[in-house]
Structure 1
Amino acid sequence: MKRAQQGFTLIELVMVIVILGVLAAVALPKFVDLKGDAVQAATDGTAGALSSATAINYARRSINSANGVAITTAAGCTSAVVGPLLEGGLSSQYSTSGTAPNCTLSNSDSSPAKTASFSAPVIN
């Protein structure tokens, strides 16, 4: 009794490898810029935290002018003013710019730098 051979032919194996290669070539670009997306998400999160911190500062300073930090139009968006409002301060990779109440946060951890906007209400 002769037994039938089992297994795949060389052509079948080559075709499977080609199909996997095509699928990898199509799917790979979708996952290449994950670091850029992560840096942008971190920048957006930090900008949101700064916006919340400046709103809390505004409320504290409205109740008692001895509390909180004065945010003026000219200096309101500098890292020296808004950075200390965050617990632990503002990380060195971030810089702020703009004129209060419209501020911009830049993250130099990627090239080009990722940016996000936040609000810093003016209060003396």
Structure 2
Amino acid sequence: MKRQNGFTLIELVVVIVILGILAVTAAPKFMNLQVDARNASLQGLKGAINGASGIVYGKAAINGVEAASSATSVKTDNGDISTVFGYPTANAGGIMKAVNGLENDTEWKAVATSGSSIGGGDAGGAKIAFTFANKVPAAGGKASDCYVLYTAATANSAASATVVDCK
């Protein structure tokens, strides 16, 4: 009788087919690129918000209104931007006007979160959140699972933006 030294062609094909099926079912769990892309977009928006608020603060300081505790207007290339303590207010006249792309609802949309309202506010410490326009339900305007939260400046702290990552 002849000894077999390797695998037959049928055995190799069966193993390759089984590995292919496992790869197709398991790969999406390890390669969730859509969530990574959304999180990167949120980080980009956070950077744009921080950059724009820093530029507006610089213009407010030049105009001498960086300490104003009520909404004050600062002239910029995007028009007059409402500021409080030198930073953009958390509403349509402030941060939404300072950051290109936030003034319309095509890419980003203002949403309600536990600490913010859709319209934001012009007082110090007011909050407004932004998420992807296609992730907001038509009715209700509640935030999806991920958003960027902008907090207007107060007497003791500068304006800030924080990200809640997508899951």
- Give the CA RMSD over aligned residues: 3.2
Consecutive unaligned residues of structure 1, counting only runs of 5 or more, are 1-7
- Tell me, yes or no, if the aligned pair for 2:90 and 2:127 is still in contact at 8 Å: yes
Please give the alpha-carbon distance, in whole angstroms, between the structure 2 residues aligned to 1:24 and 1:117: 37
How does the TM-score come out when normalised to structure 2? 0.52
Structure of greater relative contact order (alpha carbons < 8 Å, 6+ residues apart): 1
1:54 corresponds to: 53
- Matching residue's letter, 2:57: Y
Measured against aligned partners, the alpha-carbon deviations of 1:54-96 in whole angstroms (never above 9, x if no partner) come to: 11111111111474433238x921133212212x341512316
1:84 corresponds to: 97
1:95 maps to which of 96, 100, 110: 110
- Tell me, yes or no, if the aligned pair for 1:51 and 1:119 is still in contact at 8 Å: no
| Distance of aligned partners of 1:61 and 1:52 in 2 relative to their CA distance in 1, 3 Å threshold | same
The structure having more radius of gyration, on CA atoms, is: 1
Consecutive unaligned residues of structure 2, counting only runs of 5 or more, are 1-7, 66-72, 76-80, 137-143, 156-167
| Distance of aligned partners of 1:58 and 1:76 in 2 relative to their CA distance in 1, 3 Å threshold | same
- Tell me, yes or no, if the aligned pair for 2:125 and 2:153 is still in contact at 8 Å: yes
Aligned length in residues:
114
Between the two proteins, what is the percent identity of the paired residues? Answer: 17
Higher helix share: 1
2:135 maps to which of 99, 110, 113: 110
Higher strand share: 2
1:12 corresponds to: 12
Please give the alpha-carbon distance, in whole angstroms, between the structure 2 residues aligned to 1:44 and 1:102: 21
- Matching residue's letter, 1:116: V
Q: Which contiguous aligned blocks of 4+ residues in structure 1 show a shift greater than 6 angstroms? A: none
